[in-house]
Amino acid sequence: MPLHPQVEGLLQQMAAAGAKGFSEMTVDECRQTFAGMLAGLPPSGAAIASVIDRKIPGPGIDIPVRLYTPEGNGPFPILMFFHGGGFVIGDLETHDAVCRELCAGSQAVVVAVDYRLAPEHPFPAAPDDCMAATRWAAANAAEINGDAQRMAVSGDSAGGNLAAVVAQQSVQEGPMLCAQLLIYPATCADGTETPSMVENASGYLLERSDMDWFLGHYLPNESDRSIPRSSPIHNTNLAGLAPALVITAEYDPLRDEGEAYARAMQAAGVDVEISRYDGAIHAFYSFFPILEQGRAAIDESNRWLTQHLAP
C-alpha cells in the first residue's frame, strides 16, 4: 500500500528541512542529529512510579542503566530494553519516551541499557554489555522490585538484534526468558540482499547506505558478520527460544530480514507472531507521539507483553 499520509508528511517535513542521511554525517553529527530529532517530539504522558539512573557491573566496565518502575505493587515482570541506532548512535535519552510507554502499558520494570557504542567500542562490546545487564537484572530482581521468573528482552532495530542475540544466548546460559519483543530487528549483517533492502534502499529515512555505514563501524572485521552473535538469523538451532512478537514496517530496508528470522523461529517450533505495519517506515515506533501507527504498535506490544508476562 502507499505510505501512510502521516509518514509521508513526516518525510516531506524532513526533506524540506534539508535533513542529511546518517551516512553523510560524522559519528558525532549523527548522534547529535538523531538525539535532536527525537527530543523534538512531544513527551510521553505515561504515568509511572519512578525513573532511576544507576550503573551496574559489566564486562570490565560499569554499564549505565535506567530503571523504570510502574505504579502499583510488585514484584513486577522485568523487561530489558536495548535501544536502536545502528550500534553507533542512540542512548537512554533517545528512547526514554518508548521505555516509559512500555513500563506503564505492560506493568513491567523496564531496564534500559546504555551499552557501549561503535566505532569506539566495536563488536562484541554491545552484546557483551546487554548480556551482562540481563544477568544482573535476573540476579538482582528483588532489589529492583522485579520477578526473575517473568523476564523478557526487547529492542528496536540494532536493539532488536541485541535482544535476539541475548535471547539465543539465554537458552544455553540463562536467565530463562518468557518473551522477546523484536521491533524491526536487524538480523543479518553479512550483506545478504533482500527485496526490501533493494526496494527501500533510499527515500524512507533509513537507507541502505546508512546500514553499510553503521555496520562498517560496528563490524570492521568481515569474519564477524556471519556469526550468530552479530547475525542471529545464522543460528542453526533456534529451538527453545522464548515466544516472540516481531514488528516490521513495509517501507523498511530491514523488513525482510526481520520477517525471515521470525519464520525461522516458527520453523524451529517457537511461538512467534509477525506484525507488519503497511505504509510505515523504519523508526515509526519511536515517532509514536505523532504517528498513529507508532502508537498502535506500542499498544500492540503492551497487550502482547502483558499476556506473556502474566503470573
**Do residues 113 and 80 lie in contact, with contact meaning Cβ atoms separated by under 8 Å?**
yes
Q: Taking the alpha carbons of 142, 300, 194, 253 in that order, is the dihedral positive or negative? A: negative
The residues assigned a catalytic role are: 157, 252, 282
Q: Which residues of 199-211 are buried (b: 16+ CB within 10 A; e: fewer)?
A: ebeeebbbbbebb
- The H or E element that residue 273 is part of is strand 272-281
Q: Taking the alpha carbons of 12, 18, 19, 21 in that order, is the dihedral positive or negative? A: positive
Q: Cα(first)–Cα(last) distance of the chain, in Å?
A: 39
Q: For residue 276, with 0-12 CB atoms within 10 Å meaning exposed, 13-18 middle and 19 or more buried, which class applies?
A: middle
Other beta carbons within 10 angstroms of residue 290's beta carbon come to 16
d(CA 114, CA 133): 10
72: left (phi over 0), alpha (psi -120 to 50) or beta: left
Q: Which of 1, 118, 9, 98 is nearest to 48 (CA)?
A: 98
Cell representation of residue 40: 523534538
d(CA 221, CA 69): 39
**Do residues 77 and 86 lie in contact, with contact meaning Cβ atoms separated by under 8 Å?**
no
Q: Is 168 helix (H, G, I), strand (E, B) or coil?
A: helix
Q: Report DSSP letters for 96-120, one per residue.
A: HHHHHHHHHHHT-EEEEE----TTT
